[in-house]
Amino acid sequence: MLNCNTLHKMPEMTNNDILKKLRVALMLRDDEIVEILELVDFRISKSEIGAFCRKEGHPKYRECGDQVLRNFLNGLVIHLRGTKDNPKIPTKVLKQVKKPKSIPAKKYEKPKKKPDLSYVKYKNKKKP
């Protein structure tokens, strides 16, 4: 008998994958992730966050440790729910996320007609 687990072997997700997926899903920038980690008194630089989000073969790729991911998740809970003293409603926090400004599309302009230069006299023009 075939087992469902033997048919669909999925690669395990690493801590880096989890961090990347949460970053995309919640539309977080590196500086926002740093602020979330500071909520739980965990200091980390933006360049380290960038190193966690790189592809595995990249020379500056860095593996995200359990401690970093644990602190990020704890900070995310505080960021979304607030504390016992100052509770927040997560849906309101998520709606406050700044949407990236989109660049307005340029309006189509008809190409300008080439000016009539038949009246201009050229010095090096060959005579017929």
Taking only the tens place, the pLDDT of each residue in 52-86 is 999 989 999 999 999 999 999 999 999 988 888 88
pLDDT of 116 > 90? The answer is: no
Any residues with CB less than 8 A from the CB of 42 and at least 6 apart, and which? 68, 71, 72, 75
| pLDDT tens-digit series, residues 98-115 | 655 666 777 777 777 777
Q: Can you give the pLDDT at residue 118?
A: 72
Longest dimension (CA), the chain: 94
Please give the structure tokens belonging to residue 125. Answer: 């023009």
**Which neighbouring-strand residues pair with 87?**
82
Cβ 34 vs Cβ 68: under 8 Å: no
**Which neighbouring-strand residues pair with 65?**
none
Question: Among 1-15, 25-39, 64-78, which stretch is predicted with the lowest mean pLDDT?
Answer: 1-15
Query: What is the pTM for the complete model shown?
Result: 0.66
